C-alpha cells in the first residue's frame, strides 16, 4: 500500500525512480511523485494526481541529479490531488519526504505547529514530518539522521519514510515502523524500496529493515541503527526472486499470468512435503513435532479478505480431516475484542504479502498474550513471517495483481496439508491419508485441465457481463469458495456479488431472484449434491439464470450454463472449484473493460488500518 523508491549513486536518479515506481504501482496508484537533488539546496519536485505514466509525462526529461526519492500513493489523509501527492516538503523547500503508513497523531501535531505559525500546503499527515525535520535542523541537529530521529520522536503510528535534504544530497535517511522498507546494495550505488520488486532488476543483495530501525544511505553503502541510535549492523541477504518474476511475458496482465501460474505454484507448495510412506506430509517450517501436534485442541485462522476466506476453507479441512475444532476470524477484528487466547490453540496468521497491518497486529496481540502462532505467508522475510518466527511458506512466487489468485490457492493447498498432518497424528486412517496425498498430487494437473477450458468459462462470463448483481451459492465445504468467487468478481468488475449458503436462500434472499439476477452455484458431487439441486430448482422456478460449477452430471435443462471441473476428492474439490471462478471474474471484468490489475480504490498489501 503506497510504494517508496529511492536512489543514490553515479547514475541519473529520475529514470531509475520512474522505473521503480512502475514496478511498485500495484501498491497504490492514485498519485505519484518524485524529488531529485537540485541546485541551490532545494530538491526538485514533480508530482501528479494520476498514474506513474502521468508522472513520466510531467517530468522534465532534462532533469538531472544522482539522488532522489519517489512515491506512488493510495490515499489515506486527503484526496488524490497534486498537492496531496508525495513527496512533501517543508516551507523552505529544503527537505523532501515520502511516506507509507499513517501518522495517527498528525492532527494534534499539526495544530501545535500551526499555533507556532506553521503554514501547510497539503492535507496530509506526512507534511507534519517535513516541518519537524526542518525545525530539528534549524535547532542545530548535527546531521540529517539526527534531525529525522528527533522529528520522529513525537510521531505515533505506522510509517516507512525516505528523506532527502537538498543541502546534503550525498545521503538519504530512511526509517521503518510498521511499513516495509528494504535497501538494495549495488556497486557504488544504493537503492531504497518498499518492496524488492523495485530492486531485483539492479541487485540481488538486500537489507530488510526491521520495525524501529533507521538507515543512512550513501552511494558507498549504508549504516543501520535503532530509532534511539543503537547500531544494528544489518548485513545484506540474497533475495530469491529475479526480474522475470515481475514481467508479464506473453500475458495481457498479471492476474491472467498468475492464474496461469497456479499449476507450477501448487507444485512448488507440495514439493518435498508429501510423505507417501506414512500417508502424511512434512511441514518442518512449522517447528511442530508430533507431540506438539497432538497437544493442539483448537485451530484458529486469522487473515483479511481473501486470506480470511482461505482460512475458512482451512478450518473446514482441519475439522474434517483432523476432527479438531477450527474456525477463521477476520484478523482486523481480533485484537479489538480482547480475545481469549488459549495455550492449546494453534493460531495461523494467513497473508500473501506478510505485511497486512491488521494481520500483523493480530500476531502481535497473540505474541503479547503468549499464544502459539505460526504464519502461512507468501512474502519471504515479511513482517508477519518474522513476527511469527515459524510457519508454512506458501511458495506462490511474487504476486503483483491486486486480486489474489495463486497465493489464495496455495493457502488452501497448504491448509489441506496441515489438516492432513494433524489428522494423521490422530485418527485419520492410513487409507484416508493416502487418498488425500494422492488428491493433493493430482491438483496441479487438474488445475491445468481447468485452464485449458478457459474459453468456455470466458464465454459464460461474457454472456452474463451485463448483470449488475450476482449470487454465489455454496454450502459447507464450498462456502468459502463461494465467498472468494464473489470477492473476486466485485473487486475487479465493480459488480455487486454476494455469497449465500444454498439453504439460506429461501429464508430471505430468494426475493431478489429474477431474470436479471444470475446465480453461480457450486455443486460438487458430494453428500449435499441433491440439496444443491433443490436450491437450483428454487432459483429456476423464479426465473433466475443459473451458472453451475460442478464435477458431475446435472439434470437436463436445470441450468443455463455448466462449467465443468475434474473430480479430485470431496475434501479438496472446493480448491479446484475456485479456479473457474477466478477465470469467470477475470473475463467478466475484461468484458467491462476494467483495469484488471489495478481495480479502483484498492491497492495490494494493506499496511494501514
Ligand atoms: C483479494 C485480496 C485481498 C487480500 C487481503 C489480505 O483478492 O487480494 O482481500 O487477500 O487484503 O492480503 P494479504 O494476503 O497480503 O494479507
Identify any residues that bridge with 221 across adjacent strands, giving them in sequence order: 218
**Is residue 168 in some structural domain?**
yes
**Beta carbon of 304 within 6 Å of any ligand 1 atom:** yes
Q: CA torsion 368→410→355→218, rounded to 10°?
A: 130
Give the C-alpha separation, 398 to 378, whole Å: 8
Give the C-alpha separation, 14 to 64, whole Å: 7
Q: Which of 20-29, 204-213, 309-318 has the highest mean pLDDT?
A: 309-318
Ligand 1 centroid from CA 282, angstroms: 27
Residues 6+ apart with CB under 8 A from 208: 180, 181, 182, 234, 237, 381
Q: Does the pLDDT of residue 76 top 80, yes or no?
A: no
**Beta carbon of 409 within 6 Å of any ligand 1 atom:** no
Give the C-alpha separation, 126 to 134, whole Å: 13
pLDDT number for residue 546 = 98
Cell of residue 486, nine digits? 464473489
Mean pLDDT of the chain: 94
**Is residue 574 in some structural domain?**
yes
pLDDT number for residue 64 = 74
Residue nearest atom 3 in ligand 1 by C-alpha distance: 305
pLDDT number for residue 28 = 75
38-75 pLDDT per residue, tens: 878 899 999 999 889 999 998 876 667 899 999 998 87
Q: Does the pLDDT of residue 127 top 90, yes or no?
A: yes
Mutate to test the pocket of ligand 1, among 28, 195, 302, 306 (most ligand atoms within 8 A of CB): 306
Mutate to test the pocket of ligand 1, among 405, 606, 609 (most ligand atoms within 8 A of CB): 606
18-44 pLDDT per residue, tens: 999 998 887 778 899 999 998 788 999
232 with 258, same domain? no
Cell of residue 173, nine digits? 535517511
Q: How far is CA 262 from CA 60, 287, 399, 580, in A?
A: 42, 27, 11, 12
**Is residue 214 in some structural domain?**
yes
Ligand 1 centroid from CA 211, angstroms: 22
Last residue of a domain, one of 449, 467, 486: 449
CA neighbor of 206 nearest in space, from 241, 167, 163: 241
Last residue of a domain, one of 392, 418, 449: 449
359 with 425, same domain? yes
Cell of residue 291, nine digits? 507431540
**Mean pLDDT lowest for which of 76-80, 140-144, 306-310?**
76-80
Going by pLDDT thresholds of 50, 70 and 90, the confidence category of residue 520 is very high
225 with 294, same domain? no
pLDDT number for residue 18 = 94
Q: Can you tell me whether residue 96 is helix, strand or coil?
A: strand
**Beta carbon of 403 within 6 Å of any ligand 1 atom:** yes
- Bigger pLDDT: 218 or 61? 218
Give the C-alpha separation, 607 to 42, whole Å: 31
Other beta carbons within 10 Å of 504: 13
pLDDT number for residue 124 = 87
19 with 153, same domain? yes
**Beta carbon of 362 within 6 Å of any ligand 1 atom:** no
16 with 92, same domain? yes
Atom of ligand 1 nearest to the CA of 306: 10
**Beta carbon of 605 within 6 Å of any ligand 1 atom:** yes
178 with 210, same domain? yes
Give the C-alpha separation, 580 to 565, whole Å: 8
483-500 pLDDT per residue, tens: 999 999 999 999 999 999
Residue nearest atom 10 in ligand 1 by C-alpha distance: 306
Ligand 1 centroid from CA 405, angstroms: 10
454-469 pLDDT per residue, tens: 999 999 999 999 999 9
8 Å CB contact between 478 and 524: yes
Say which of 2, 304, 388, 478 is annotated catalytic: 2
Q: Which helix (H) or strand (E) holds 331?
A: helix 331-334
pLDDT number for residue 2 = 83
Residue nearest atom 9 in ligand 1 by C-alpha distance: 305
478 is catalytic: no
Of all residues in the chain, the percent with pLDDT exceeding 90 is 85
pLDDT number for residue 424 = 98
Going by pLDDT thresholds of 50, 70 and 90, the confidence category of residue 535 is very high
Last residue of a domain, one of 406, 433, 449: 449
CA neighbor of 20 nearest in space, from 122, 84, 90, 98: 98
DSSP structure class, residue 336: G
198 with 289, same domain? no
**Beta carbon of 296 within 6 Å of any ligand 1 atom:** no
pLDDT number for residue 493 = 98
Give the C-alpha separation, 29 to 75, whole Å: 9
pLDDT number for residue 608 = 73
Q: Does the pLDDT of residue 366 top 80, yes or no?
A: yes
Q: Does the pLDDT of residue 512 top 80, yes or no?
A: yes
DSSP assignment of 481-549, as one string?
HHHHHHHHHHHHH--EEEEEEGGGGGGTGGGG-STT--EEEEE-SSTTHHHHHHHHHHHHHTT--EEEE
pLDDT number for residue 78 = 73
510 with 411, same domain? no
8 Å CB contact between 401 and 258: yes
Going by pLDDT thresholds of 50, 70 and 90, the confidence category of residue 162 is very high
Question: Looking at the 3D structure of the chain, how many domains does it have?
Answer: 3
202 with 269, same domain? no
**Is residue 444 in some structural domain?**
yes
Ligand 1 centroid from CA 304, angstroms: 6
Give the C-alpha separation, 539 to 554, whole Å: 15
The residue segments making up the domain with residue 462 are 453-602
pLDDT number for residue 382 = 87
**Beta carbon of 520 within 6 Å of any ligand 1 atom:** no
Mutate to test the pocket of ligand 1, among 310, 334, 348, 352 (most ligand atoms within 8 A of CB): 352
Ligand 1 centroid from CA 300, angstroms: 18
CA 74, distance to chain mean position in Å, is 14
421-467 pLDDT per residue, tens: 999 999 999 999 999 999 999 999 999 999 999 999 999 999 999 99
Mutate to test the pocket of ligand 1, among 27, 362, 404 (most ligand atoms within 8 A of CB): 404
Q: Which helix (H) or strand (E) holds 188?
A: none
42 is catalytic: no
8 Å CB contact between 204 and 161: no
356 with 322, same domain? yes
pLDDT number for residue 60 = 78
**Is residue 608 in some structural domain?**
no
Length of the chain: 609
362 with 395, same domain? yes
Q: Judging by beta carbons within 10 Å of its beta carbon (0-12, 13-18, 19+), is residue 384 exposed, middle or buried?
A: buried
Q: Provide the strand spans (E) within 369-508.
A: 372-377, 391-393, 469-474, 496-501
Q: Does the pLDDT of residue 123 top 90, yes or no?
A: no
Residue 277 Rama label (left phi>0; alpha psi -120 to 50; beta): alpha
Ligand 1 centroid from CA 380, angstroms: 16
When pLDDT is averaged across residues 312-333 and rounded to a whole number, the result is: 98
pLDDT number for residue 603 = 80
Give the C-alpha separation, 58 to 74, whole Å: 19
**Is residue 148 in some structural domain?**
yes
**Beta carbon of 302 within 6 Å of any ligand 1 atom:** no
Ligand 1 centroid from CA 136, angstroms: 39
For residue 72, whether the previous peptide bond is cis, meaning omega lies within 30 degrees of 0, is no
**Is residue 607 in some structural domain?**
no
Other beta carbons within 10 Å of 432: 17
111 with 133, same domain? yes
pLDDT number for residue 147 = 97
Give the C-alpha separation, 179 to 194, whole Å: 8
When pLDDT is averaged across residues 574-586 and rounded to a whole number, the result is: 98
8 Å CB contact between 457 and 580: yes
Of all residues in the chain, the percent with pLDDT exceeding 70 is 99
Mutate to test the pocket of ligand 1, among 195, 305, 360 (most ligand atoms within 8 A of CB): 305
**Beta carbon of 606 within 6 Å of any ligand 1 atom:** yes
Give the C-alpha separation, 358 to 178, whole Å: 11
Q: Does the pLDDT of residue 563 top 90, yes or no?
A: yes
**Is residue 609 in some structural domain?**
no
Atom of ligand 1 nearest to the CA of 356: 16
Give the C-alpha separation, 556 to 549, whole Å: 15
Identify any residues that bridge with 67 across adjacent strands, giving them in sequence order: 8
Q: CA torsion 441→443→448→451, rounded to 10°?
A: 180
Going by pLDDT thresholds of 50, 70 and 90, the confidence category of residue 105 is very high
Q: Does the pLDDT of residue 481 top 90, yes or no?
A: yes
Residue nearest atom 7 in ligand 1 by C-alpha distance: 403
Ligand 1 centroid from CA 352, angstroms: 7
Other beta carbons within 10 Å of 205: 16
Q: Does the pLDDT of residue 389 top 80, yes or no?
A: yes
pLDDT number for residue 82 = 85
Cell of residue 593, nine digits? 473493460
Model confidence, pTM: 0.88
List the 519-523 sheet strands across, edge first: 496-501, 469-474, 519-523, 546-550, 561-564
When pLDDT is averaged across residues 510-528 and rounded to a whole number, the result is: 96
247-275 pLDDT per residue, tens: 899 999 999 999 999 999 999 999 999 99
| Axis crossing angle, helix 573-591 with helix 454-463, rounded to the nearest 10 | 50
Q: Can you tell me whether residue 211 is helix, strand or coil?
A: coil
**Beta carbon of 66 within 6 Å of any ligand 1 atom:** no
Going by pLDDT thresholds of 50, 70 and 90, the confidence category of residue 187 is very high
**Beta carbon of 353 within 6 Å of any ligand 1 atom:** yes
Say which of 47, 257, 488, 604 is annotated catalytic: 604
Going by pLDDT thresholds of 50, 70 and 90, the confidence category of residue 80 is confident
CATH code, 398: 3.40.50.10490
Residues 6+ apart with CB under 8 A from 458: 583, 587
pLDDT number for residue 565 = 97
pLDDT number for residue 83 = 84
When pLDDT is averaged across residues 303-321 and rounded to a whole number, the result is: 98
Q: Does the pLDDT of residue 609 top 80, yes or no?
A: no
pLDDT number for residue 547 = 98
**Beta carbon of 281 within 6 Å of any ligand 1 atom:** no
Amino acid at each position: 500500500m503506497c510504494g517508496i523508491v529511492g536512489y543514490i549513486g553515479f547514475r541519473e536518479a529520475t529514470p531509475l525512480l520512474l522505473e521503480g515506481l512502475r514496478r511498485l504501482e500495484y501498491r497504490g496508484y492514485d498519485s505519484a511523485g518524485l524529488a531529485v537533488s537540485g541546485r541551490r539546496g532545494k530538491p526538485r519536485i514533480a508530482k501528479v494526481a494520476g498514474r506513474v505514466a502521468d508522472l513520466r509525462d510531467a517530468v522534465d526529461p532534462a532533469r538531472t541529479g544522482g539522488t532522489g526519492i519517489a512515491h506512488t500513493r493510495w490515499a489515506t489523509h486527503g484526496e488524490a490531488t497534486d498537492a496531496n501527492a508525495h513527496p512533501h516538503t517543508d516551507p523552505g523547500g529544503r527537505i523532501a519526504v515520502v511516506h507509507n503508513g499513517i501518522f495517527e497523531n498528525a492532527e494534534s501535531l499539526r495544530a501545535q505547529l500551526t499555533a507556532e505559525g506553521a503554514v501547510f500546503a497539503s492535507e496530509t499527515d506526512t507534511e507534519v514530518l517535513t516541518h519537524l525535520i526542518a525545525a530539528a535542523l534549524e535547532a542545530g541537529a548535527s546531521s540529517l539522521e539526527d534531525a529525522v530521529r528527533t522529528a520522529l520522536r513525537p510521531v505515533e503510528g505506522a510509517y516507512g519514510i525516505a528523506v532527502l535534504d537538498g543541502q546534503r544530497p550525498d545521503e538519504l535517511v530512511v526509517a521503518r515502523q510498521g511499513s516495509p522498507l528494504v535497501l538494495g546494495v549495488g556497486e557504488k550505488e544504493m537503492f531504497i524500496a518498499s518492496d524488492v520488486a523495485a530492486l531485483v532488476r539492479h541487485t540481488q543483495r538486500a537489507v530488510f529493515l526491521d520495525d524501529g530501525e533507521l538507515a543512512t544511505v550513501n552511494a558507498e553503502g549504508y549504516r543501520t541503527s535503532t530509532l534511539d541510535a543503537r547500531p544494528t549492523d544489518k548485513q545484506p541477504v540474497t533475495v530469491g526472486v529475479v526480474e522475470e518474476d515481475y514481467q508479464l511475458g506473453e500475458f495481457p496482465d498479471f492476474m491472467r499470468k498468475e492464474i496461469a501460474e497456479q499449476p507450477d505454484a501448487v507444485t512448488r507448495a507440495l514439493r518435498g512435503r508429501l510423505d507417501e510412506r506414512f500417508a502424511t506430509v512434512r511441514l518442518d517450517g512449522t517447528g511442530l513435532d508430533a507431540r506438539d501436534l497432538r497437544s493442539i485442541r483448537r485451530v484458529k485462522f486469522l487473515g483479511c479478505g481473501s486470506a480470511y476466506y482461505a482460512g475458512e476453507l482451512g478450518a473446514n479441512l482441519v475439522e474434517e480431516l483432523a476432527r479438531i475444532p477450527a474456525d477463521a476470524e477476520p484478523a482486523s477484528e481480533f485484537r479489538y475484542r480482547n480475545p481469549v487466547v488459549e495455550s492449546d490453540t494453534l493460531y495461523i496468521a494467513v497473508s500473501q504479502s506478510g505485511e497486512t497491518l491488521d494481520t500483523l497486529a493480530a500476531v502481535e496481540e497473540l505474541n503479547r498474550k503468549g499464544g502459539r502462532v505460526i504464519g502461512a505467508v507468501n512474502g519471504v522475510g515479511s513482517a508477519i513471517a518474522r513476527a511469527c518466527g515459524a510457519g508454512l511458506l506458501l511458495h506462490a512466487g511474487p504476486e503483483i495483481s491486486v486480486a489474489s489468485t495463486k497465493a489464495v490457492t496455495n493457502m488452501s493447498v497448504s491448509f489441506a496439508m496441515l489438516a492432513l498432518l494433524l489428522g494423521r497424528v490422530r485418527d485419520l486412517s492410513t487409507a484416508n491419508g493416502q487418498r488425500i496425498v494422492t488428491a493433493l498430487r493430482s491438483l496441479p494437473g487438474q488445475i491445468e485441465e481447468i485452464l485449458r477450458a478457459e474459453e468456455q468459462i470466458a464465454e459464460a462470463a461474457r454472456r452474463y457481463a451485463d448483470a449488475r448483481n450476482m449470487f454465489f451459492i455454496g454450502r459447507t465445504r464450498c462456502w468459502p469458495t463461494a465467498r472468494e468467487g464473489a470477492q473476486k468478481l466485485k473487486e475487479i468488475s465493480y459488480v455487486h456479488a454476494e455469497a449465500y449458503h444454498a439453504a439460506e436462500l429461501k429464508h430471505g434472499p430468494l426475493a431478489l431472484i429474477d431474470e436479471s439476477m444470475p446465480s453461480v452455484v457450486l455443486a460438487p458431487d458430494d453428500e449435499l449434491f441433491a440439496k444443491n439441486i433443490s436450491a437450483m430448482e428454487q432459483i429456476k422456478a423464479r426465473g433466475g439464470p443459473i451458472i453451475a460449477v460442478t464435477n458431475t452430471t446435472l439434470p437436463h435443462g436445470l441450468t443455463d450454463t455448466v462449467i465443468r471441473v475434474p473430480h479430485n476428492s470431496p475434501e479438496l474439490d472446493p480448491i479446484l472449484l475456485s479456479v473457474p471462478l477466478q477465470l469467470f471474474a477475470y473475463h467478466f471484468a475484461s468484458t467491462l473493460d476494467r483495469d484488471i490489475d489495478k481495480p479502483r480504490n484498492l491497492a495490494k498489501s494493506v499496511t494501514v488500518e
